[in-house]
Amino acid sequence: MRSTRPISNRAGLPFTAVVLTLCAANAESAPLSGCYIRHYDAAHLAAHPTQQVREVALSLAPMSGDHGQWAASGTLRISVKGHKGYRSVSGDCTQKAGTLTCDGDCDTGEYRVMFSGQASVLMTITDRLLLQRDGCDDEDYFELKPDKENTQFLLHSAPASSCK
């Protein structure tokens, strides 16, 4: 027979400590490598008409050797409504308190990556992104500004070949 007695605060303390420890462990383990993707279908985009992003692919690779503050390199590839193909931002990332902060080469913007559990990451655009096709000299870029529908994207782990 199951007890209906409330659990005392003292009994709840060990459980709370375990939960906080697990969350802290996840917070410190930001991924330094992998491929993460999110594709939005027509039904989702119809329900969110101001969302400009059709697909996001994030490729992360750890830095080898001594690169000072840089922990990983990241390439963010995005497909935008009304534009053919993909545009991208590449750059290096620092790691602090379980979050990667990635700065695009050639002042193309900034985004953050935080491990979300279950082989997923939450990618947040913190500054505008200048999405390019042909690197730093590309003047045909698309500027993606963070707003209600174009700021955070939950990306899921995928095979590395999906990010190429």
What is the spatial distance between Cα 68 and Cα 62, in angstroms, rounded to a whole number?
13
The predicted-structure confidence for 16-41, as pLDDT tens digits, reads as follows 233 333 334 444 456 688 999 999 99
The answer to whether the pTM exceeds 0.85 is no
pLDDT attached to residue 133? 84
pLDDT digits (tens, 9 = 90+) for 44-80: 999 999 999 999 999 999 987 777 788 899 999 999 9
pLDDT of residue 30: 61
How far is residue 79's CA from residue 113's CA, in Å, rounded to a whole number?
19
Task: State pLDDT tens for residues 106-120.
Answer: 889 999 999 887 789
CB of 19 closer than 8 Å to CB of 119: no
Residue 1 counted as domain residue: no
CATH code for the domain of 21: 2.40.128
Count of domains forming the chain: 1
Q: Give the domain range for residue 44.
A: 9-163
